[in-house]
Structure formats: structure tokens, C-alpha cells
Amino acid sequence: MNGFQQIDKLSGVAGAAALVVLAVAPLVFPGNYLIGVLTVAAIYGIWAVSWDFMSGLTGRENFGHSLFIGVGAYVAGVVNVQMELGPWWSLPASMLLAVAFALLLGFPTLRLKGPYFALAMLSAAVIMQRLMLIFWEYTGGEEGIQDIAPLIRNNLHYYWFVLVVLAATTFILSWMARSRWGLILRAIRGDEATCLAAGIPITTYKIVSLVISAAFAGLGGALYAHYQLQVSPQLFAVVTSVTIITMVYVGGMGTIYGPVGGALLLTLLTEGLRNFGEWRLMIYSLLLIFILFFLPNGFIAPLWKRVRSGWGDRA
Amino acid sequence: MSSVLLEVDSVDKHFGGLHAVKQVSMQIRRGEIVGILGPNGAGKTTLFNMLTNFIPPDNGRVIFNGQSLQGVKPHKIVTLGIARTFQLCRPFVGLSVLENVLVGSLGPRVRHDGLGDRAMQLLKQVGLEAKAHTPSELLSYGDLRRLEIARALAAEPELLLLDEPFAGLGSSEIEAISSLIRQLHAEKQLTILLIEHKLREFMQLVSRVIALDFGEVIAEGSPAEIVAHPKVIEAYIGKQTEMAVHHAA
Amino acid sequence: MEILIYGAVTSAIYAMLAVGFTLIFGVARVLNLAHGSFYALGAYGTYVLTSIVGLPLWLAALLAIAGVSVFGVVVEKALIRPLRYSQLGVLMITLAVSLVVEQALFLIFGSEYRNVPAFIDTKVSIGGVDVAGQRLLTLVVAVVAIGALYLFIQRTRLGSAILAISQDAEAAKYMGIPSDRIFSLVMAISAALAALAGVLAGPFLSVQPSMHLLPIVKAFAIVIVGGLGSIPGSILAALMLGYAETLVAYLISTSWTEIVSVLATLLTLVFRPAGIFGKRAAF
């Protein structure tokens, strides 16, 4: 026995089943609208899972995840439109640049105790947003970069591609979270000083998990750019980060799979709220307050755990 | 291989105006169990913090296994072979007992195969086997101490620093932990340095005592010698600690 | 000369924002991300009370500040206190509050810039430079307000209680100091200062629903540089940042002013994380 949790058969089966359902849904309910919504939901899923891997496990909450998303998206735009390279080049380029930012921001802030990391990330995202506007000659300002080429022209096929990326992301990060890496991250959440005494270079681990988190977030950003076919400074907005954090809360912090459910649920909810137009963000924020008070452990993951133990009793 | 495992050479520490540790020197030989005695505020924990470089000394050196610890980062200390427990038990909240011990063995010093089995072995030795999958924050105080010890041992140290292992425990618990320490010392060829201010159990456990007061060494010797030492008595009578109680008992 | 005055005005506004932010952190260990909202509400409140309700400007301003103070206390009691066990829970909830406020302002007022009337419309000439009277007023009021706060903390019993709690909350409780009530008081002061900044700066800085973000970013940069929890640190850092930005705006271009706070924050975090006067080093 090597002592680490494994992804057990039941979870694996459930995950595969969910994947199949998601893939098949647009065939059952045809129409570009559903495909669009599900594509966006899947991309949010990638963002939520990447956030959970770092912040959900270590407890060091990153309030500027939108920075990595925006960077990934803008890189896709620049590479595709301004550098006129083929669209597939965006993916590695986005991840690379997101990683660079993660290192730049992570180094000074993650070795410190206290709220510095969270606030620095928040400030960085806000400042990036402003910078996109200030240097409008390069970034297109308010309107951003337009006319990005799609990766795959067929909407349905692109959706399936995104779904595959989501599945891969979730699987990889889940696996890591259950390995000794995840154990260390959770120990860091438990007590940093004791980790040091046990010989763990906590700052290194924190920075590396931020880098991994950023890489996937940037990838999601590029995927988003190639879906929307344009990018704007709005991507850097605090609202994006908060939405993702809400999804993770709803899904269950630190579970990795929960946030996927959270992303799906909240994206569908947002679509349903379209009728409320401008009230959407307001409702979202109020929802967040509600969740913080009444559902700090989330909704999706606890539900799944209860279903599982019910199953276990029967088996 | 020299017989002196740890050499502390005139370490000194100021905290602002407070001279917490004054030129303390000591030599710990391989295989000893040495106790550091002193009333609260004597500088014992600060000393431990300096031995593990959590706080670097202002002056003086700490030499372990012939190597100076100066400039060695706190998380590398374990790699060299020193493990410590903390006065206030700090389990990894959110992790099970087994996972806590596992984390202790993840440093580069330990072989990487069979970690789970080794962790369970340790839990067996400290008597926590049955609670392996309990969330660690739910443990009783006595069990937390055992967990602390198991976690420290997971790194397979040569030198084990125990910071007040008996604090907050009842006398039967103290007895149990004490014999556990003795057992582990014999089985694993550890060198142990422990801080306590509860005299009686301490006296039966250690072979040598170093007494501190106000940051400096006031006496050194066997337990019997220390108990009779005038300076030690003076330090304690002035503070009315368990010494009087234990001697009366 | 222009730089001297404009720099001072900018510093004054920043100082008011930063002092309030660092005060509530130093005393209650609360990082209030809704602090910017107090600033915004001060400006909008004055706008509503004077342009819509028709009250005289000075009255509108006072009421707005008082209202924001009360709002701050309500937020503290109802939302922040229950989550105090988790510093990050506090960050989340205050962030959520700031978003709700921003959305509410957007829904009610729309996204165009609003005009908050100035107290002093005329320009004043100092040392050969024409300065808007409003800006000078801001400077003067800021100095008075912060000076008053300083005296309050140093000279009154209540002030000593605040100092005591900021040094050791547990010990203060044992001494019978009613920490909870003091937290509310400090929050009220913090909110009032931010609202005051909004009222004074509204006429010459932009008033729109997302105006709360930049103050938070600036306040954060200032308290990092000055040291979290240190009022003198915040004042000093506010001066440094205010002047640095003004210099950059004059010598390079206004677009580059953001970089100043970014650089300052990054440099501080890398070289001296505790800030200038930080008493709690971050590690």
C-alpha cells in the first residue's frame, strides 16, 4: 500500500458517464444554442478546476485567476491576428505566457504569510485590465482583438474537443491531487510551519502549483478566444475571478471534480437568468454571499459523497 | 564518526531589548537522551528554534554531525537528520492521522517505496494504528502527542527534538509517552533532546540535564545532581513550579 | 510648483483611503475589499442628496458620510463578523459586497459619469499656479481629518483602547475592553474617511459604478509599502506614491501612472515585505 488515495472505480465510472452524457446532449437536443452554452460551461470547468488545484488544495486563495485567463486569451489573439500564425500555435503560446506571469507574481508573494498573495493577484488582474486599455495601440483597447480564427470550424466538433480538454485537465489534476503532491498541498493548508519542520519546501510547492494552475487557465483562455473569436479587457475583470471562485465553492473546494459540476450548474443558471439582463451580476454576487454563509462546503461534492455512501451500503 | 552529534557554541539571541538566549553552549553525544530544564521564559523554545534554524542565532554556531547549520534553510534541516515536535501540537488540519505521518516522510531523506507501510508501522509503534483514518484534528491531546512523535520519526532522523512532550497530559498518559520515548530510543538508535519543566518523569527518562534560566545555562549534570544544585533550586523556588509538588508527592 | 500641489492633493486622497484601510486591518485584522465601495458611495450619496433631493451641498456631504459610516457598521456586524474565523472568507464576502454595490449603482445610475458638484468652484492662485479650489480644499480637509484621527487615537481613552486591541486583541479582551464595539467604531471611522475622500474627490475624479476598484488597488499598494497596520506608514507611503504618480504623469504620460503602484508593490514585496513601518513581518 502506498498510502495515497486513488481515484476509485466508482468515481471513474461516474466521471466517464458524465462525460458521455455531456458529449451526447447536443445530439439529443440539437441546435447551436445548446452547443454554445455547453462549450462555455466546459471552458469555465477548465478554469474552475485549475483554480481548485492550487487554491482549493492549499487554501491560498487566488483572487486574480482572471489574469491568467486574460493572458491566455490575449496571447491567442495576438498570435493569431497580429502575428498571423495558425490558430493551433495559440495553445502552447498561451500556456507559456500564463506560466511566465505565474512565476513573476508567485515568487514575491507566495513566500509570505497572510493575505499578500490573494491581494496581489487581485491587484494584478485589475492593473492588467487597465493596461490593456492604456496600451490600446497594441491591444485594441476597449474592443480588444477581433477576427480570431476558430480552431475547428464545426461547432459541435469544437465542443467535443473542448470537452476532451476538460476531461484531460480534470483527470490529470485529480490524479495529482490524490498523489503525494496533493497531500503536500493539503498539508500546507493544514500548517505551514509544521511542513517546514517536516522538510517540505513549501514555497516551491506553492509556486509550482500556481504555475500548473496558470497553465491550464491560460489554455482555457485560448480555447475561449477561439470560441468567441474575439477578446476584450473584460476577461480580466474581477467578476470573472469571482464567478470561478463561486463555481468552486458550489462544487466543493479541494475536490477537483466538484468544480466541474459547479461550472456546469452555474453556467446553466446564468443562461437561465438571461431574462434578468442587467440583474445577472447582482444575483451572482448575492448568490456568493449566500453560499459563503450557508454552503461553505459546496453542494456538488457533498451530494456525490452522500450518493456514494448510499451506493456503498447497498453493495 | 565522532561521538558528538550536536555542538552548540555560544549561541546568542536578542529580541529587541530582550536577551532571550545568552551564550549557550552544549554538546550532545550520540545516543544520549538529554533534557533541557527551565522555568517558563527561560529561553528553551527559542533555543530549539535556533537548533532548527527557524530563527537564526545572532551569534554563535550550531554544528550538527560536523556540519555548521548556518544559512541552512528551515526545511532542509530535516534532510540533515534533525526532526522536532512543537509545544502546541499542530496536526495538519484536514488530513487523516495516516496522512499526517505520510507527509512527515516525504522529504528527500527517506526512501520512496513502501511509504504507506512504513507510516502504518510507525502508527503501530506509537499506538495510533486503530485511528489511522481518523481526521487528525479530532484526536485527543495524548494522541496528538503520539502523532507528533510519529510524524517526526517518519523523516528517520538521527536527532529528535521534543518540545514539552508531556505538557497538558495526565500522569498515566505521561507514563505511557515516557516509556514510548524510551522504547523508540532503544529501537531506533536515536539521540533525543527534550525540553520539559515537569521534573519527575523527566528525571527518569534522561541521562543528563542542562538547566536554563533567563537564557543562560545555570547547571549541568545527572538528574540527581541537578535536583540538588543550589542555583536550580533557587530558580525554581522563586517561581513555585511543579518541583515542590513532585518532591512532596 | 504645479507638481508640488497636485502631488499633495493626490497624496491626500490616497492617504485618506489608505489610513482607513490599514486601520481596520490593524485593529480587527479585516481586509476590507469593500473599502472602495465606501469611497464610491460617498460620491454617489452626495450626488443624489444634492442634485436629486436638492439639499445644500454641505448637508448632503455630511449625510452621505454618515450614511456610509452606518452602512459600514452594518456590513461589519452582519457579514464580516460571522466569517471572522477565516481571513479569506472575509476577503470573499467584502469582495462580494463591493460587487453588489457596484451592480446596484450600475442598475440605478447607469454607467455614464455623474457630476458631483464641487464645494469651491473658483480657482485659487498659489505661487503663480492656478489650482482648482476644490483640490485645495481636499488637501486641507484631508490633513485636518487625519490629524484629528491621530489626536483621537493618541489622546483619548477610546483611542488607547483601539491601540491596545491592535497590539493584542486577546489581552485587550481580558482587560475588559469591548472589542466588538470597538471594531464597529473603527469600521465607522474607516468608512467615513473613505466616504469623505469620495465626497471631496468626486468633483474632479471620475464618478461611475466601477470607481471602487482603483482606490482599492492603490490603497493596497500603499499599505503594503507603508506596512499593513501602520498609520504613519500609510501616510508616508501615500505621500510617496502620490508624488511619484504625479511626477510620472508630468514627465512621461498619465497612462504610465498605474505602473508606479505596480512597481512599488512588487519591489516592496520582494525586498522588504513588512513595508516601511510594518511591525508584523509577513514571514
- DSSP secondary structure string for all residues of C52-85: IS---HHHHHHHHHHHHHHHHHHHIIIIIGGGTT
Residue C31 and residue A115: Cβ atoms within 8 Å? yes
Domains of chain A, start order: 2-314 (1.10.3470)
Nearest-angstrom CA–CA distance, C20 and C190: 4
- Chain A partners of B104 at a C-beta cutoff of 8 Å? 198
138-197 in chain B: CB under 8 A from chain A:
151-152, 154-155
The sign of the CA dihedral B98, B99, B101, B106 is positive
The sign of the CA dihedral C19, C220, A133, A60 is negative
- CB neighbour list of residue C236: distance below 8 Å, 6 or more residues apart: C226, C276, C277
Residues of chain C under the 70 pLDDT cut: 1, 87, 118-131, 169, 273, 278-283
Residue A285 and residue C92: Cβ atoms within 8 Å? no
User: For residue range B204-249, what is the model confidence (pLDDT) as tens digits?
Assistant: 888 888 888 888 888 888 888 888 888 877 776 665 555 555 554 4
Chains that touch A (3 or more CB pairs under 8 A): B, C
Residue C270 and residue A108: Cβ atoms within 8 Å? yes
- Smallest CA–CA distance, residue A300 to chain C, in Å, is 20
User: For residue range B123-153, what is the model confidence (pLDDT) as tens digits?
Assistant: 888 888 888 888 888 888 888 888 888 888 8
A59 touches chain C (CB under 8 A): yes
Residue of A nearest to B113 (CA): A2
Residue C256 C-beta-side C-alpha neighbours within 13 Å: 10
A305 touches chain B (CB under 8 A): no
Burial (0-12, 13-18, 19+ Cβ within 10 Å), B238: exposed
**Per-residue three-class SS string for chain B:** CCCEEEEEEEEEEEECCEEEEEEEEEEEECCCEEEEECCCCCCHHHHHHHHCCCCCCCEEEEEECCEECCCCCHHHHHHHCEEECCCCCCCCCCCEHHHHHHHHCCCCCCCCCCHHHHHHHHHHHHCCHHHCCCEHHHCCHHHHHHHHHHHHHCCCCCEEEEECCCCCCCHHHHHHHHHHHHHHHHHHCCEEEEEECCHHHHHHHCCEEEEEECCEEEEEECHHHHHHCHHHHHHHHCCCCHHHHHHHC
Whether the per-residue pLDDT at B181 is higher than 70: the answer is yes
Q: What is the total residue count of chain B?
A: 249
Nearest-angstrom CA–CA distance, C234 and C197: 15
User: For residue range B186-202, what is the model confidence (pLDDT) as tens digits?
Assistant: 888 889 999 887 677 77
- CB neighbour list of residue A255: distance below 8 Å, 6 or more residues apart: A52, A56, A298, A301
Coil vs helix vs strand at C7:
helix
* Bridge partners, residue B195, by sequence: B36, B163
User: For residue range B74-112, what is the model confidence (pLDDT) as tens digits?
Assistant: 888 888 889 888 877 788 888 888 888 888 887 777 777
Mutate to test the interface with A, among C29, C37, C77, C100 (most CBs of A within 10 A): C100
Residue that has been written with the C-alpha cell 468552486 in this structure = A248
Q: Are C191 and C215 in contact (CB under 8 A)?
A: no
Coil vs helix vs strand at C132:
strand
User: For the structural domain made of B4-81+158-248, what CATH number should be given?
Assistant: 3.40.50.300
A152 touches chain C (CB under 8 A): no
Domain ranges of chain B: 4-81+158-248, 93-156
Mutate to test the interface with C, among A117, A134, A241, A247 (most CBs of C within 10 A): A134
Domain ranges of chain C: 2-210
Answer left, alpha or beta for residue A31, where phi above 0 means left and psi between -120 and 50 means alpha. left
Q: Are B181 and B162 in contact (CB under 8 A)?
A: yes
Coil vs helix vs strand at A145:
strand
Q: Do chains A and C touch (3 or more CB pairs under 8 A)?
A: yes
Q: Are A43 and A216 in contact (CB under 8 A)?
A: no
pLDDT tens per residue across all 315 residues of chain A = 455 666 677 778 888 888 888 888 888 888 888 888 999 999 999 999 999 999 988 888 898 999 999 999 999 988 888 888 888 888 999 999 999 999 998 988 888 777 778 878 888 888 888 888 877 777 787 888 887 888 888 888 899 999 999 999 999 999 999 888 888 999 988 888 888 888 888 899 999 999 999 999 999 999 999 999 989 898 998 889 988 988 998 888 888 889 999 999 989 888 887 777 777 778 777 888 888 888 878 888 888 888 877 766 554
pTM: 0.82
Q: Which three cell numbers stand for residue A126?
A: 485589475
* Bridge partners, residue B84, by sequence: B161
Nearest-angstrom CA–CA distance, C155 and C164: 13
Residue C89 and residue A289: Cβ atoms within 8 Å? no
Residue A289 and residue C258: Cβ atoms within 8 Å? no
Nearest-angstrom CA–CA distance, A210 and C139: 42
C214 touches chain A (CB under 8 A): yes
Residue that has been written with the C-alpha cell 449566500 in this structure = A290
C111 touches chain A (CB under 8 A): no
Q: Are B40 and B49 in contact (CB under 8 A)?
A: no
Nearest-angstrom CA–CA distance, A61 and A50: 12
For residue B211, report the phi and psi dihedrals to the nearest 5 degrees.
-100, 135
| Averaged pLDDT score across all residues of chain B | 83
Q: Do chains B and C touch (3 or more CB pairs under 8 A)?
A: no
129-148 in chain A: CB under 8 A from chain C:
130-131, 134-135
- Smallest CA–CA distance, residue C28 to chain A, in Å, is 14
Q: Are C104 and A283 in contact (CB under 8 A)?
A: no
User: For residue range C69-126, what is the model confidence (pLDDT) as tens digits?
Assistant: 999 999 888 888 887 777 677 888 888 888 888 888 888 887 777 777 766 666 666 6
Taking alpha carbons only, the member of B201, B197, B208, B200 closest to residue B240 is B197
The pLDDT value recorded for residue C282 is: 34
Nearest-angstrom CA–CA distance, C248 and A123: 20
The pLDDT value recorded for residue A315 is: 45
Q: Are C230 and C57 in contact (CB under 8 A)?
A: no
Residue B92 and residue A194: Cβ atoms within 8 Å? yes
